[in-house]
Structure 1
């Protein structure tokens, strides 16, 4: 299967590192013009410059904007008025006991993980539907189905994304626009590395070693019994954004290594 996204414009939110960056690279390699997004203009520029050097001939630009706010989302859509592919990857996560999560923290997670994608989809989907072609992908998580007891605030937002994506797929019914969710499991992302950095230094272990131990200890239902790479998640997203995936919409597509124990 040859995926060709030449002539398509793609915006990948929070794409200066981790899963978002892997998705951006995958889309660019498939021929799409890719817009890199992050909160820091300097970081965005550094990533764009690096990709221009690494991906010879790739079409990449950047736009800075904090998508946890309405003003940040407006700044992004003002700079990038139209796209064919929208990948809502922006999100935060962190371990916290339920009784320590105050109202402000709940609101922060909701605005960052949920409303960021809502605001962008509300803007970009209109044009997609008028052109009768488009792809919207929400990067959810297996935690949206298997709510982690130590990250209830995170799991709730990932479940919300599944509902929104399914609803938006119905909004686009009968058009060439598809809306799907992709659900990664434990992934060797920069966020994961930051979370276990002290442990890695203290125990003298690689991030991959710690990731694999985490999967076996805390995600025992995993079938692959290891942590996934960001590229493995990106491969699913690139496919969902392709013309070949035209009959896949309203779906929750797991790249969780079989963690969610269901058929």
Structure 2
């Protein structure tokens, strides 16, 4: 399958590392003009320089700012008025007991994980509908279906993304615009690698081996029995952004290694 996104502009939120970076690289390799986003200009510049080394002829631009705020969302919409593809990847996570999570932390998770996607979709979807083509993706999580007891606040925001994605797909029905959600499972991003690095060093084992043990301990229902790579998740994202995925919309597609134990 040859995915060609030449002539399309894609915004990938939080794309200086992890799944966001891998998605930006995949979209750039498919010919899209990719807008790289991070909170700091330094991080954006570093990511763009790395992408230019990895993807020959990549068409890239950057926008630095905090999309967890209404002001940040308004600013990127002004800077990039008419993208064809939006990948809502921005998110925060972290274990914390439900009874210790204050309102301010709930609000931070909601603003970052949910409302950033609400605001950007509200701003950019009408233009996609008017042009008769567009792709909106929400990077949710298997935790949106399999709510973790130690991250209830995180799981709630990821479930909300699934509802938002499905509702928006129905709202733009018949327009040529698709809206979908991707549900990664345990993924060996830079953040996870950093978390496991000391353990790997102490045990004299590779990060992949330690990550596999972590998956089997924390997500024993995993069928692949290892952590996914960011590139494996990005492959699904790039496909859903492609013309070939035109009959897939309103879907919640798992890239979780089989962690969620059902057949649909």
TM tier relative to shorter chain: over 0.9
- Whole-Å separation in 2 of the counterparts to 1:111 and 1:198: 32
Task: Check if 1:220 corresponds to 2:220.
Answer: yes
Task: Check if 1:200 corresponds to 2:193.
Answer: no
SS at match of 2:135: strand
**Residue pairs, 1:89-104, within 5 angstroms:** 89-104=89-104
- Whole-Å separation in 2 of the counterparts to 1:149 and 1:73: 31
CA pair 165-45 structure 1, distance change in 2 beyond 3 A: same
- Whole-Å separation in 2 of the counterparts to 1:196 and 1:123: 39
Give how far 1:250 is off: 0.2
Q: What's the C-alpha RMSD, in Å, of the aligned pairs?
A: 1.1
- Whole-Å separation in 2 of the counterparts to 1:184 and 1:20: 12
- Whole-Å separation in 2 of the counterparts to 1:42 and 1:4: 30
Corresponding residue for 1:78? 78
- Whole-Å separation in 1 of the counterparts to 2:63 and 2:119: 16
- Whole-Å separation in 2 of the counterparts to 1:217 and 1:203: 17
- Whole-Å separation in 2 of the counterparts to 1:96 and 1:179: 31
Corresponding residue for 2:20? 20
Runs of 4+ residues over 4 Å off in structure 1: none
- Whole-Å separation in 1 of the counterparts to 2:6 and 2:49: 21
Corresponding residue for 2:55? 55
Corresponding residue for 2:169? 169
Task: Check if 1:33 corresponds to 2:33.
Answer: yes
Give how far 1:201 is off: 4.0
Corresponding residue for 2:182? 182
Task: Check if 1:2 corresponds to 2:2.
Answer: yes
| Residues 166-175 or 200-209, more deviating | 200-209
- Whole-Å separation in 1 of the counterparts to 2:112 and 2:132: 29
Corresponding residue for 1:46? 46
SS at match of 1:14: coil
Number of aligned residue pairs: 263
- Whole-Å separation in 2 of the counterparts to 1:256 and 1:54: 26
Task: Check if 1:118 corresponds to 2:122.
Answer: no
Structure 1: tracts of 5 or more residues without a match:
none
- Whole-Å separation in 2 of the counterparts to 1:225 and 1:49: 34
TM-score normalized by the length of structure 2: 0.97
| CA offset digits 1:76-102 (Å, max 9, x no partner) | 111111100000000001111111111
- Whole-Å separation in 1 of the counterparts to 2:78 and 2:48: 19
Structure 2: tracts of 5 or more residues without a match:
none
TM-score normalized by the length of structure 1: 0.97
SS at match of 1:260: coil
CA pair 98-197 structure 1, distance change in 2 beyond 3 A: farther
- Whole-Å separation in 1 of the counterparts to 2:253 and 2:209: 26
Give how far 1:47 is off: 1.2
Task: Check if 1:132 corresponds to 2:132.
Answer: yes
| CA offset digits 1:49-104 (Å, max 9, x no partner) | 22123212110111011011101111211111110000000000111111111111
Corresponding residue for 2:235? 235
